[in-house]
Amino acid sequence: MSKATFRIWRGDALGGDFKDYQTEVSEGMVVLDVVHKIQAEQANDLAVRWNCKAGKCGSCSAEINGKPRLMCMTRMDELSIERPITLEPMHAFPMIKDLVTDVSWNYEVKKKIKKFKPRKPDAADGTWRMSQTDVDRVQEFRKCIECFLCQDVCHVLREHDKHEQFIGPRFFVYSAALEMHPLDTEDRLADLKQSQGIGLCNITKCCTKVCPESITITDNAIIPLKERVVDRFYDPIKKLFRVFS
């Protein structure tokens, strides 16, 4: 057993401040374990969102020492207890209370993205044919647990508050899963360019770095979508072809 100090943000939409809690930590504990211990022994009214404690629900997202992480997947032996460990809510979303933020904006964004629209079956029995390579390409995107850590770390949302013009990395991943699906026929490129703001992403790869599912967000989702938008709207030859056709 050793003692650690947790500096936890306490407050609501009207304001708040950090408060220090000193507690004992033992081998094998994760940050969420410590938060539950503090909640049980020192701060019964501490608000924290969690569910599975297995890194699969995405509920316990927070900022640990300034970095967006899942509390249930951040082991105490990864952190130094020589100085206070800071815990604060995600910065990109409205505050509710303590470590809990209102992430409902994300679900409203998802509703606006055009849904999957399959092509007609390839065979008379109503089945499709597709290559395994095409199937494998979109499987990575389906690992997303919607923790919204990538949304939180993205400077376009976090620092510039472009929520009305920019859908964020999570939904570029969602769009890529649809756009690259071998059966999909829907056209989302105009939306990506105009209302969803893919041009605002300057590919810093910060979203890829914080993804707990190790999805290669920037290279495998955002850049290919950017390339499709550029091909459609900015390629001079294709632009000329569209004028004459």
31-48 per-position pLDDT tens digit:
999 999 999 999 999 999
Cβ–Cβ under 8 Å, residues 111 and 99: no
Report pLDDT for 129: 85
Report pLDDT for 135: 85
Report pLDDT for 62: 98
Report pLDDT for 122: 82
Rounded CA-CA distance 209/231 in Å is 28
Could you list the beta-strand ranges (E) of 26-164: 61-64, 67-70, 85-88, 95-97, 100-101
Q: Report helix, strand or coil for 136.
A: helix
Residues 6+ apart with CB under 8 A from 119: 128, 183, 184, 185
Q: Give start and end residues of each alpha helix (H) in the chain.
A: 31-41, 104-112, 132-139, 149-153, 155-158, 169-179, 189-194, 206-210, 223-233, 236-244
Report pLDDT for 199: 96
Report pLDDT for 96: 97
Q: Are strands 2-12 and 15-25 parallel, antiparallel or unpaired?
A: antiparallel
Report pLDDT for 71: 98
Which stretches in the chain have pLDDT values below 70? 242, 245
